[in-house]
Amino acid sequence: MTATIGGTRLVVRYLPATPTAHETLLLDESTGPARAGDLERLGLTAREAEILELLGSGATNAVLASTLHVSLSTVKTHLENVYRKLGVRSRAQAVAMALTPFRSRPRKALY
């Protein structure tokens, strides 16, 4: 769920429980451009955040693979994980999230 008030965006995300983590509700206020470190706060690994940041700059899967020195298959796997973790269904939705402003303050998690 997302709400925008006065130029500040509040994003609420539910992350289901995994074998290594409890279910989590993430709240994030945002106002500036997203960077890989900001994207990691969405529950992404460092590599997934890096890929999503590059997607926001318009990189294709082939460019991602070349830039990161991985195979196209690896890029696709990372993208599938990003989509699942962000609760999106398409590259366009994932890119929209990468372009969404994030504030640099720590993210709040409620259990």
Find out whether 90 and 84 touch, Cβ atoms under 8 Å.
Answer: no
pTM, 2 dp: 0.58
Cα–Cα distance for residue pair 97/73, rounded to 1 Å: 23
Which one has a higher pLDDT value, 111 or 67? 67
Each residue's pLDDT tens digit, 16-39: 787 877 887 767 666 554 566 667
Domains of the chain: which residue ranges?
Answer: 2-110
Burial 43-66 (b: 16+ CB within 10 A, else e): bbeebbbbbbbbbbeebebeebbe
pLDDT at 15: 72
- Whether residue 102 is predicted with pLDDT greater than 60 in this model: the reply is no
2-110 domain in CATH 1.10.10.10?
yes
